[in-house]
Amino acid sequence: MTASPATDPLQQLVDPGYARPLPASLATGRRDLLAAVRELRTITDPDLIRSWPWKGGSEEEVRYGFYRISESFELAGIEAQETLRSAGVARGRTADRIAPVTAARWDLQGLLLTLPDSTWDNDPGAEEWTIRQTMAHVIQSQRYYGVGTAWWQRQAYAADDPKLPATVPDPVYADLPSEEAEAEGTPSEVCDRLDDVVDRSSAALGGLPIDRLAAGARWSGFAVDIDFRLGRWSSHLREHTVQVEKTLVMIGHRPTEVDRLVRLVVAAWGRAEAEIYGAPNAEAAADELAAAASSARITAADVTGYARG
């Protein structure tokens, strides 16, 4: 869902001066990442032992192409961080707390990208959620985390203030999608929705001043501070990534080696992205990641060609 400014609680509750928009080149890099993944997923496990020319004219197996792309993302993350440091760009404590969410998001996406669409609605039994139901919860929770955190920081209560409200008022969430609506559509559309929700909440809140992190809030009814709520963003995604893994076991889905390697590639991108996620004036650093993704797309096509013989 892309809300209009008149109905978007994030725009209503957070000073726009705190926004940390996503650099355009980071979005370009993501597109190249996903294009590389589409190539790599055409490789089968038996193809992995085929020869692939690599460093210095040597030959290794096709499977090394996956690891090479992962290594290139790890290096790009280091170089992007150095670019920020050389420019004197300080991300700030709030964005530092938020940044791990993008690593967690891409690890989950790396898992989801390897799954046949049919697995999403395969009932695991024992009243456990399907993957689609789990994603409905994940997306709505992240949307509520963003909007709820925006509301709490605006109230400016101390965490130990006896007047700390018991909950966010229902009208704050009134225009947000239902949990069921969050997971409507194809798996690809749902994955895009997750990205949109994570990026929108991160962009809106990434520049909050450090003093706002001490403001009182609640989580599961307990009095906490904003800092605690931000730390929950990544761990909540990790929690339900584990749940999806357990669901796959219950429905009898076994990942291939290629599936596992694709997930490693996507997770490596997420770790690189986390190095700069939420930083102000991060365009040059994001260019480093985009260049690595463009190169990965070329490598993926090369590896795939050798895999096909």
Give the pLDDT confidence of 66-75 residue by residue, as tens digits: 999 999 999 9
CATH for 64: 1.20.120.450
Give me the domain span that covers residue 77. 21-307
pLDDT band, residue 56 (cuts 50/70/90): confident
Domain count, the chain: 1
Contact criterion met (CB below 8 Å) for 2 and 266: no
Average pLDDT, the chain: 95
SS3 per-residue string spanning 34-45: HHHHHHHCCCCH
Is residue 173 in a domain?
A: yes
Is 171 part of a structural domain of the chain? yes
User: How many helices and strands (H and E) does the chain possess?
Assistant: 12, 4
pLDDT tens string 103-152 = 999 999 999 999 999 999 999 999 999 999 999 999 999 999 999 999 99
Flag whether 141 is in a domain. Answer: yes
Q: What is the pLDDT of residue 4?
A: 45
User: Is residue 165 in a domain?
Assistant: yes
208 in any annotated domain: yes
What is the pLDDT at residue 94?
Answer: 98
Count Cβ atoms below 10 Å from residue 122 Cβ, excluding itself.
Answer: 18
Residue 309 — pLDDT band, cuts 50, 70, 90? confident
Residue 288: inside a domain: yes
Residue 95 has pLDDT above 70, yes or no: yes
Which has more confidence, 5 or 160? 160
Q: Residue 258 pLDDT > 90, yes or no?
A: yes
| Percentage, residues of the chain above pLDDT 70 | 98
Residue 5, pLDDT > 60, answer no
pLDDT for position 3: 53
Q: Judge whether 114 lies within some domain.
A: yes
pTM, 2 dp: 0.95
Find out whether 285 and 84 touch, Cβ atoms under 8 Å. Answer: yes
Examine the pLDDT at 2 and tell me if it is beyond 80: no
Q: Which among 94, 219, 216 has a CA at the least distance from the CA of 152? A: 216
Average the pLDDT over 226-254 and give the result. 97
From residue 240, how far is each of 23, 115, 139, 259 by CA, in Å?
Answer: 28, 16, 11, 19
Average pLDDT for residues 18-38, to the nearest whole number?
Answer: 97
| Residues of the chain above pLDDT 90, percent | 94
Which of 56-60, 219-223, 303-307 has the lowest average pLDDT?
Answer: 56-60
Kindly state the average pLDDT of the residues 179-201. 97
In a domain? residue 211: yes
Query: In the structure, what pLDDT confidence band is assigned to residue 7 with cuts at 50, 70 and 90?
Result: low
